[in-house]
Amino acid sequence: MSTTSPPTNLAGQKGLKTGALGLFSSVVVGMASTAPAYSLAASLGWIVLGGTVLVGFQAPGIVLLAFVPMFFISLAYKELNSAEPDCGTTFTWAARAFGTRTGWFGGWALIAADIVCMASLAKIAGTYSFTFVGEVFNNPAIAELGNDLIWSTVAGVAWIVLMTWICYRGIEVSAKLQYALLGVEMVILAAFGIVALVRVYSGNGIEGSAIPDWSWFNPFLLPFDTAVAPAILLGLFIYWGWDTAVAINEETKDPKRTPGRAAVISTLLLLVTYLVVTVGTVAFAGVGEGPTGLGNIDNAGDIFAAVGPALFGDTVFGHIMMMLVAAAVLTSAAASTQTTILPTARAALSMGAFKALPASFTKMHPKFQTPTWATWGMGIVSIAFYLFLSFISLDLLFACIGSIGLLIAVYYGLTGFASTWYFRKTLFVSARNFFIRGLFPLLGGLMLVAVFVYGLQQFLQPDWLVSEVDGSNVEILGVGAVGFVGLGILVLGIILMIIWNIISPDYFKGKTLDKRVHPAND
């Protein structure tokens, strides 16, 4: 007779601190994880530029359209979490619905996206550390250090270490820090968007300014494959991260309800914030190729730095506002660095608990009740990845950042499909179940598949990414580096899965995490 333990549900049994967070804390963590200020600073310009066809004034429509699959997938998270509030989220739920290999691959896409994102966040946090200090002391020399590879890298690594340590100290400490960081960020973002709209409507815009029009919210005026799909992949990046509110489900009060509600609320609040800032910025700066125009590729890397001086003026007030904008982007990157570690460590913890990763990932701190190796391990891997890319090739770093959208589409889309399939016996019990558990998650998943396919086609074009150093195409083996890196990360996951299957096959045989269907009478 086999002595193997039967498949089990480990929710609430991994040693995490239960009942630590309420709804408000979960919403704050969910929103902070998206890094709203940084996401807009780094992505809005690229959204305006779109693919091979300029998106231009339809950028608000892209932001609105990208919200649709995000909202549908947040419903999937909410429903799946109500059935099994496990911190592994996509890993656990995809394994329940489709089997262990699909679950492992979903967990890999989640972890890989977070590690790649950490490199991006570390870079921006390092750069803006010097920008902020330079603004405070009105010292351009200090601000200029942010453009120095060595100094910005050292500062970026310091931020990863600091935020990893805070995550290690406990979930409550992490949440309390987020209150302050997110508060600063949201106030300044609102001020940026509102001031821009006031100047435009009062006739005090600049060359290229335009009064907002309802047509701006219609992305279907553009070709889907060459403009909309690539832009939506970038749009997914600005929303991505709210699922951290669900990843901390085992540490919340009422874990079956609170995390899912927080995820849905977070996406709705982000939509409002992003539309205000996007409409205001596009209206004020315009989409031309001038010094402040969002159609100027030189402004795409940081639209706040490009537009801010013209918006606030060369005055004491303008200097203060730019200092606050720098503070917002810095706190945004810092906050998201912290909240990116949280879901990565918890996904690794869950995978370790179900023997999909080495048992070392399940070690918990007896006092802080946080995963020790899973937290520090992900911090160390993120630092190594960041250092490697920074000193090997900044172009490759940018290519990795661009590939995040592909990874997001994979594990968010997989979660949508998992909801529809896992709940298939309950879909016709009520209209609510049919739409919330079945149709909407399915549509969200299908939308992400379409975006992945069309977006990948664009990312594989050799001229998709141009080097900031010499203006040459950033490509690998004759194809676009962004697409190559994205596919490479996914293939690497398959290789690692095969290796772990050979080393420790129990998980893959369904001995620790079984395939299930949600009962129709539940």
Q: Residue 189 has which token pair?
A: 């973002």
User: 368: which residues sit within 8 A by CB, 6+ positions away?
Assistant: 17, 168, 169, 170
Classify residue 518 by its DSSP letter: -
> What is the length of the chain?
522
The confidence score (pLDDT) of residue 4 equals 44
The two most distant CA atoms of the chain are separated, in Å, by 82
Chunk the chain into consecutive blocks of 10 residues (it has 522) and report each block's average pLDDT, rounded to whole numbers.
49 70 87 86 84 84 92 95 92 96 96 86 82 82 85 90 83 73 86 95 93 94 82 81 88 89 92 95 92 84 86 85 84 77 89 93 85 88 87 76 84 96 94 96 94 85 72 79 90 96 94 84 58
d(CA 478, CA 403): 17
Tokens 């219609």 belong to residue: 218
Residue 135 sits at φ, ψ, to 5 deg, of: -65, -40
DSSP line for 12-42:
T-SS--TT-B-HHHHHHHHHHHT-HHHHHHH
Residue 21 sits at φ, ψ, to 5 deg, of: -125, 145
The confidence score (pLDDT) of residue 13 equals 64
Residue 143 sits at φ, ψ, to 5 deg, of: -60, -35
d(CA 377, CA 383): 10
> Packing angle between helix 316-353 and helix 171-201, nearest 10 degrees?
140
The confidence score (pLDDT) of residue 353 equals 92
Closest CA to 342 of 489, 185, 172: 172
**How confident is the model over 222-242, as pLDDT tens digits?**
888 778 877 887 788 788 888
Flag whether the pTM goes above 0.75. Answer: yes
The confidence score (pLDDT) of residue 471 equals 63
d(CA 155, CA 159): 6
Closest CA to 10 of 517, 519, 513: 513
The confidence score (pLDDT) of residue 2 equals 37
d(CA 300, CA 91): 34
The confidence score (pLDDT) of residue 314 equals 80
Q: Are 512 and 496 a contacting pair, CB within 8 Å?
A: no
The confidence score (pLDDT) of residue 1 equals 33
Question: Which amino acid, one-letter code, is at 58?
Answer: Q
Q: What is the mean pLDDT of the chain?
A: 86
The confidence score (pLDDT) of residue 300 equals 81
Instruction: Please count the CA atoms within 13 angstroms of the CA of 346 that sit on its side-chain side.
Output: 34
**How confident is the model over 127-144, as pLDDT tens digits?**
888 888 887 887 888 888
The confidence score (pLDDT) of residue 9 equals 66
